[in-house]
Amino acid sequence: MPPTATRLLVVSLCILALAACTTTQESDRETSVTTTEPQATTTKALQTSTSPSTIPATTQPAEETQVGPPLVAGCRPDPFRGVSVSLASQYAGRDLTAHVYDIRTGCEYAFNPENRQPTASVFKVMVMAGTLLEAQQESRLPTEGEWNLMLPMITESANEPVRALWRSFGASPWFRETGEAFGLSDTSITADGGSAWGATRTSASDQVRLLRQVLLGEWGPLNEASRSLALELMTSVVPDQAWGITSGVPSSWTVAQKNGFAGQIINSIGWVDPPGPEEGYVVAILTYGWPDHASGIAAVEHISRLVTDAMIDSVPGAR
């Protein structure tokens, strides 16, 4: 059995064992860079903490890779400055947007931040987060059934689990309540009937905002136990879906990701983290208008390399 499958099986069995013991009582318009007050995070601590199997059973509620100089003192170079015009020309007729949060400096970078685009399967991160929050609010771990839905939903991008969880937790109002719980003000849920969830529209900044809560724990409703499970799932995607934001990232780095692909939609979001004490970054790349998946993936990976060129060259030993 592959190591990833073994690890996830162990996590699943441990969750079930713990749950059984739990009582039921319980310069151009398209680009911008901003800074946010750096916040204490549990990013590295979460990676080196005990595995999810030891979580307590009860929890509390033609490539152009040039990058311009930083726009704000202390920030790394803006990956989109100086290339937005060439990107628009190279991918004319396509809708592109991206957002990057540099954990080390607190700086954020945006490309076409006004765009709102369909999520496709990156929506499943919000579904996972909502499921973990439901369990947490009931002072328990996910049930066997919930875990067995989240596992293929995130690691294999299975679709049926979304509809099953939609039915389990209250249909479209639950999707909307989950978005509100994580402050996703740019995200418009269109999942009435449990079938059109992939047409939900969002911004790249909303997706980064969600990941900063679900994986980094900078703020938000999830506790460390829930975030550990989310991290385990998002670092275990099957190899044929490990494209997108992984492009240009050194093999020794950790990537927690979820991709979305349906029709003309090709999206990739996640957290990229170097080994050691250095902090990485969170990125969301959303695109639309592709005649085929291959051309869309190539564009997403082009943008990913612009980001990695700006974000990781200053990390010792990154190249």
Query: Quick check: is 14 in a domain?
Result: yes
Rounded Cα distance between 303 and 94, Å, is 13
How many independent structural domains does the chain possess? Answer: 1
Which tens digit of pLDDT belongs to each residue from 58-102?
A: 334 333 334 444 556 689 999 999 999 999 999 999 999 999 999
Tokens of 12: 């699943």
Rounded Cα distance between 319 and 315, Å, is 8
Query: Quick check: is 232 in a domain?
Result: yes
Name the pTM for this structure.
0.82
Query: Quick check: is 151 in a domain?
Result: yes
CATH of the domain at 43: 3.40.710.10
Tokens 């999830």, residue located: 222
Tokens 């592109």, residue located: 96
Rounded Cα distance between 124 and 194, Å, is 13
Query: Quick check: is 161 in a domain?
Result: yes
Query: Quick check: is 318 in a domain?
Result: no
Query: Quick check: is 319 in a domain?
Result: no
Query: Quick check: is 229 in a domain?
Result: yes
Rounded Cα distance between 270 and 33, Å, is 19
The full 3-state SS of the chain, as one line of letters, equals CCHHHHHHHHHHHHHHHHHHHCCCCCCCCCEEEEECCCCCCCHHHHHHCCCHHHCCCCCCCCCCCCCCCCCCCCCCCCCCCCCHHHHHHHCCCCEEEEEEEECCCCEEEEECCCCCEECHHHHHHHHHHHHHHHHHHCCCCCCHHHHHHHHHHHHCCCCHHHHHHHHHHCHHHHHHHHHHHCCCCCCECCCHHHCCHHHCEECHHHHHHHHHHHHHCCCCCCCHHHHHHHHHHHCCCCHHHCCCCCCCCCCCCEEEEEEEEECCEEEEEEEEECCCCCCCEEEEEEEECCCCHHHHHHHHHHHHHHHHHHHHCCCCCCC
Handedness of CA 119, 120, 122, 124 (dihedral sign): positive
Query: Quick check: is 317 in a domain?
Result: no
Rounded Cα distance between 313 and 319, Å, is 7
Q: Which residue range is the domain that position 198 belongs to? A: 3-312
Could you read off the pLDDT tens digit of each residue along the chain, which spans 319 residues?
A: 444 555 554 455 455 444 444 433 333 444 566 654 434 344 453 543 333 333 334 334 333 334 444 556 689 999 999 999 999 999 999 999 999 999 999 999 999 999 999 999 999 999 999 999 999 999 999 999 999 999 999 999 999 999 999 889 988 889 889 999 999 999 998 755 556 788 899 999 999 999 999 999 999 999 999 999 999 999 999 999 999 999 999 999 999 999 999 999 999 999 999 999 999 999 999 999 999 999 999 999 999 999 999 998 655 455 5
pLDDT of res. 50: 33
Average pLDDT, the chain: 83
